[in-house]
A and B are shown apart, each in its own frame.
Chain A
Amino acid sequence: DAMVIQNPRYQVTQFGKPVTLSCSQTLNHNVMYWYQQKSSQAPKLLFHYYDKDFNNEADTPDNFQSRRPNTSFCFLDIRSPGLGDAAMYLCATSRGRGRGGTDTQYFGPGTRLTVL
Chain B
Amino acid sequence: AQKITQTQPGMFVQEKEAVTLDCTYDTSDPSYGLFWYKQPSSGEMIFLIYQGSYDQQNATEGRYSLNFQKARKSANLVISASQLGDSAMYFCAMREFNTGNQFYFGTGTSLTVIP
Contact = CB atoms under 8 A, between A and B. Distances in A.
A55 B101 contact: yes
A42 B91 contact: yes
B73 to A, nearest CB: 19
A37 B41 CA distance: 13
Q: Number of contact residues on A: which range applies?
A: 20 to 34
B95 A105 contact: yes
A102 B102 contact: no
A68 to B, nearest CB: 14
A42 B105 contact: yes
Interface stretch (A13-21, A59-67, A77-85, A92-100): A92-100
B42 A106 contact: no
Nearest to B42: A109
B107 interface: yes
A100 to B, nearest CB: 9
A47 to B, nearest CB: 10
Interface of A: 31, 33, 37, 40-43, 45, 48, 50, 55, 88, 90, 92, 94, 96-97, 102-110, 112
The 4 closest A-B pairs by CB, nearest first: A107-B45, A42-B105, A110-B43, A109-B44
